[in-house]
């Protein structure tokens, strides 16, 4: 591993995103717009519902968006030959993976800062814990999405297939993360499955932050999300082969 | 004595149950070596073996005295894949600056590489919008390092004749510094420009020599005819 190369990869990924104005605008504006729709929907019905569902949504954005963006961009690296070329150069696999994680983590930090600012500042989301910790959870979440995206790109040969991993791997996590039905109230089997899905811990962390000033459990949840991310990165590294059949 | 920068011995590669290289042996010395043959004859697979990107069933490849693909070779071997392996959404200069940083070479090399492929006027253009630019940028990336072996997989495909001539001149200038430049092509008229020619068919080398030697040994007027005669001779012998 070499910090110069890691930063080169991160800088290049960020430059590519910056050049793509439409993607950049969607990355930053869509979460704010969706969270506003959520607030509006519950406004007349029961405003406390926004405090219940808002945090879950804040946990989901960075995960889903970074998963999608990463799986498509790394698939493109694999199919365009840039990855093959990079692997014949003095580039460590970790440089590649961490470069991506770093770039998308940074992007997620900006994205979440905006979404949190809108939620807390404009829409009145009541956060008991420290607001900055929401950002930490979001970045951990984004790195998880990036790591999973990198991993699945190894199992797709077209961008179409890569996108199909979203309903296959991401939507089950959204259903079982405890947003619709509290996890304790689920049938035992589903609760057990929910316990081994990383998004559950990300949503728990966000909900914990909103509900209480105690941060011990939140850090525990962040640690679980980080472990999942590291495991996915390690598996992702195993799919980057200098020699291919 | 000519020292071989590449030595491949009894190389067997199987892809998808098919023996793409059934046991090829090959030496490459300094100079421009053309690797010619029809599509699907194993040129790309052979080149991938030399840069250490191909999983090999048996046989050995040594490049610059080390096993192909070893760590020390990563700055000493330049590789242009068949697909233009550059980033379409970045400018010419941004692409090169990125690869320069990965290679750990000076930023000054970027300008030299851009100039070498004749893209200095377009250095701030986005690669995807530069017609015929992709393969040239890809080639420029391979020129960034101080490669002692350049492996170029069909670098001139789809380029206009003037540019092709310029690039072949460039290959010879690089070779003049003592480097080995291995260039594949399926366009036979490019063959005449190599110092040495390897004609390849179905994973085997069917002729090896200077373009003149190959023409004379087959009595053909050009390399394309020579190739056809060799193929017919092989089929007749079966």
- In this structure, the number of other CB atoms found within 10 A of the CB of residue B16 comes to 6
pLDDT score at B1: 42
Mutation pick from B20, B86, B87 vs chain A, by most beta carbons of A within 10 Å, is: B87
So what's the ipTM on this one?
0.86
Phi-psi map region of B137: left, alpha, beta (phi>0 left; psi -120 to 50 alpha): alpha
Mutation pick from A5, A21, A81, A92 vs chain B, by most beta carbons of B within 10 Å, is: A81
Q: How many angstroms away from the CA of A84 is the closest CA of chain B?
A: 7
- Enumerate residues 6+ apart whose C-beta is below 8 A from B71: A90
Contacts of A8 in chain B (CB under 8 A): 98, 101-102
| Separation CA B182–CA B27 (nearest Å) | 11
Contact B160, B132 (CB under 8 A): yes
Residue B140 has pLDDT above 80, yes or no: yes
Strand, helix or coil for residue B18: strand
B144, two tokens:
């960034």
Contacts of A10 in chain B (CB under 8 A): none
Query: Is the Cβ of A21 closer than 8 Å to some Cβ of chain B?
Result: no
Name the phi and psi angles at B69, rounded to 5. 85, 0
| Separation CA A120–CA A113 (nearest Å) | 10
pLDDT score at A157: 83
Contact B137, B83 (CB under 8 A): no
The percent of residues in chain A predicted with pLDDT above 90, rounded, is 33
Residue B189 has pLDDT above 90, yes or no: no
pLDDT tens figures, B16-42: 888 999 999 999 999 999 999 888 899
**Cα B166 vs. chain centroid, distance in angstroms?**
16
Contact B142, B95 (CB under 8 A): no
Contacts of B87 in chain A (CB under 8 A): 12, 16, 82
β-strands B204-209, B196-201 pairing: antiparallel
Contact A50, A28 (CB under 8 A): no
| Separation CA B199–CA B207 (nearest Å) | 5
- Per residue of chain A (245 residues), give pLDDT as tens: 788 999 999 999 999 999 888 888 988 998 899 999 999 999 888 888 888 888 888 888 889 988 998 888 888 898 888 998 998 898 988 899 899 989 988 988 898 889 989 998 999 888 888 988 888 888 898 889 988 998 888 888 888 888 888 888 899 999 999 888 888 899 999 999 999 999 999 999 998 988 888 888 899 999 999 999 999 988 888 888 888 88
pLDDT score at A44: 87
Mutation pick from B56, B85, B145 vs chain A, by most beta carbons of A within 10 Å, is: B85
pTM: 0.87
Phi-psi map region of B67: left, alpha, beta (phi>0 left; psi -120 to 50 alpha): beta
- Residues 62-91 of chain A with CB under 8 A from chain B are 79-82, 84-91
Contact B151, B50 (CB under 8 A): yes
pLDDT score at A79: 85
pLDDT score at B61: 92
Contacts of A243 in chain B (CB under 8 A): 52-56, 69
- In the predicted model, what is the mean pLDDT of chain A? 89
């Amino acid at each position: 591993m070499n910090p110069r190369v890691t930063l080169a990869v991160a800088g290049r990924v960020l430059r590519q995103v910056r050049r793509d104005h439409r993607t950049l605008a969607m990355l930053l504006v869509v979460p704010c717009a969706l969270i506003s729709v959520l607030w509006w929907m519950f406004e007349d019905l029961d405003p406390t519902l926004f405090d219940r569902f808002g945090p879950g949504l804040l946990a989901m954005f960075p995960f889903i968006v970074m998963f999608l963006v990463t799986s498509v961009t790394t698939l493109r690296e694999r199919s365009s030959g840039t990855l093959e070329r990079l692997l014949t150069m003095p580039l460590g696999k970790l440089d590649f993976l961490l470069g991506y994680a770093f770039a998308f983590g940074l992007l997620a930090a900006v994205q979440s800062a905006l979404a949190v600012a809108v939620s807390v500042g404009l829409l009145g989301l009541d956060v008991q814990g420290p607001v900055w910790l929401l950002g930490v959870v979001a970045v951990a979440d984004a790195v998880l999405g990036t790591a999973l995206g990198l991993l699945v790109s190894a199992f797709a040969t077209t961008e179409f297939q890569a996108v199909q991993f979203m309903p296959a791997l991401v939507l089950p996590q959204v259903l079982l993360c405890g947003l619709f039905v509290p996890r304790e109230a689920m049938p035992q089997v589903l609760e057990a499955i929910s316990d081994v899905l990383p998004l559950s811990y990300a949503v728990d962390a966000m909900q914990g932050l909103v509900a209480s000033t105690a941060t011990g459990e939140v850090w525990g949840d962040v640690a679980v999300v980080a472990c999942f991310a590291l495991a996915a990165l390690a598996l992702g590294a195993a799919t980057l082969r200098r020699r291919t059949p | 004595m000519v020292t071989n920068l590449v030595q491949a011995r009894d190389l067997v590669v199987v892809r998808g149950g098919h023996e793409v290289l059934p046991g090829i042996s090959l030496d490459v010395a300094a100079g421009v070596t053309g690797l010619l043959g029809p599509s699907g004859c194993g040129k790309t697979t052979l080149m991938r073996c030399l840069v250490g990107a191909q999983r090999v069933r048996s046989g050995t490849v040594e490049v610059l005295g080390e096993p192909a693909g070893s760590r020390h070779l990563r700055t000493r071997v330049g590789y242009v894949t068949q697909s233009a392996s550059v980033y379409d959404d970045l400018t010419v200069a941004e692409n090169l600056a990125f690869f320069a940083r990965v290679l750990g070479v000076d930023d000054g090399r970027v300008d030299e590489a851009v100039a070498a492929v004749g893209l200095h006027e377009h250095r701030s253009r986005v690669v995807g919008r530069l017609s015929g630019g992709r393969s040239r940028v890809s080639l420029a990336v391979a020129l960034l390092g101080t490669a002692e072996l350049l492996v170029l997989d069909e670098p001139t495909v789809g380029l206009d004749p003037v540019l092709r001539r310029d690039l072949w001149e460039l290959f010879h200038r690089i070779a003049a510094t003592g480097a080995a430049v291995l260039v594949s092509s399926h366009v036979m008229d490019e063959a005449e420009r190599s110092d040495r020619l390897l004609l390849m068919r179905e994973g085997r080398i069917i002729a090896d020599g200077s373009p003149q030697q190959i023409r004379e040994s087959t009595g053909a007027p050009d390399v394309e005819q020579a190739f056809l005669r060799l193929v017919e001779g092989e089929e007749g012998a079966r």
